[in-house]
Structure formats: structure tokens, C-alpha cells
Amino acid sequence: MINVRKLSRLALSLATLVLAGACDDLSTLPSGPYTLSGVVTQMTASGSVPVRGVFVEETTLHRQAYTDESGRYKLAGLPAGPATIQASLLRFESASRSVTVSGDTTVDVELLQREQFTLSGFVTEDTPAGRVPVSGVSVDAIVCPPQRPGAPTRESTETDINGFYSISGMCGGPTVLSAWKSGYELPPASDKPCGNEGEWCRWVTIAGPTRFDVQLGRK
């Protein structure tokens, strides 16, 4: 005769084991979502200060944020597991931090400011009397190559009565300079043109304070 009570107890025991195993399996599954937040700072002569406007991105799911006036950022909706964030801002070195997310997590970042230089020079034109300065020429250059996708940042100035221009805050490395004034043209570079549709410019390598003179021609 089948013992119904024993079968019931056996079924209950098996069910308990199955549920226990399921709970163990669930405990290993990723959970969330969680929030990753922190403060971005830079070190100055007076100590560590927050940096506003820093672009912060989680590199896998591409959650993005900008730091506020207190240097704080917040990236929500992240699952448990490894995550890497990247912080970038013009004239600063990009910084990355890796962390394992297992709950709401705080990651602070310190940025290092890039060394900055001045690009300057004279804009002239050739005349029968020799080279003469050209005032009122619009000169612009990419001050620092972008460290994330997006349009580069350019700074502009105009030449003075002596044809002199100066652009500060330039980062080291190659950059693009252009010069324009109505009635004049910047002839195509003989080796490496950097413009299109008739707009010509010059490649300049910034290595410390840099002088770069430009010669325009009449149209």
C-alpha cells in the first residue's frame, strides 16, 4: 500500500530543495538598476576644487552626464557588474576610472589640466614696396583637439594695425589655423592643404609658445 503521508513529505522536501537552488541561482544574477555618482575635481595651489561642465560617460551603456557647479555627476540605470567611466573637458587630460557596481556606487575623479601656450604671429601681404602688415584679418585656430566626439573648439581674434595676432590657451600638438579678410586669400599650401571648397588653412604644431606668420594675397 502506498503511504500517502510519506509521499507528501517527500514531495515537500523536493520542492524545498528546488526553491533553495533557485534562490541560490537568483543571488548570482545581475541586479539593479543602480546609480553611479561622484565629484570631479582638480588640484590647484589652494587645494582641490570642483570642476563644472565635465562630460562624464559610462563606456558600455553610454550613460552620460555633465558635472554641476559642485563638480557632481550622476549616472542612473546601471546594472551590477564592471563599469568604466570617462571624464573629459577642454584643456584637461581625459581620465578613466573602473569599478565593480554592486549597489549605488561613488567614484570621484581628479582631472589634470593640460599645459597651455600662446600662438602668435604677423599677417602680411607682398606689395611692390615689400611686405606690409594687414590689419583686421580674422585669425582662428583649434585651441585643443576634442577628446570626445563633437565639434572642435576654436578661438578667434583680429590682427591689429601692425598685422599682429595672438591666441592664448592653446594645447600642445598639431592644430589648424585659418586667416581671412575680404579681398584677400590664403593661398593653398604647397604640401598639405587642410581646407575644402576653396577655403584654405595651415597646419601648425604647438610646442611651447609658438610663432607662426601668415602671408595673404590679393584676390
Domains in the chain, start-ordered, CATH in brackets?
Answer: 34-111 (2.60.40.4130), 116-218 (2.60.40.10)
| End-to-end CA, the chain | 112
What kind and span of H or E run contains 34?
strand 34-44
Opening angle at CA 53, ends 50 and 58, nearest 5: 95
pTM of the model: 0.68
CB 148 within 8 A of CB 158: no
Convert the pLDDT of each residue in 85-141 to its tens digit: 999 988 898 899 999 999 999 999 999 988 999 999 999 999 998 999 999 999 999
Residue 154 has pLDDT above 60, yes or no: yes
Convert the pLDDT of each residue in 28-59 to its tens digit: 545 679 999 999 999 999 999 999 999 999 99
pLDDT band at 190 (very low <50, low <70, confident <90, very high): low
Q: State mean pLDDT over 168-178.
A: 91
Peptide bond into 33 cis (omega under 30): yes
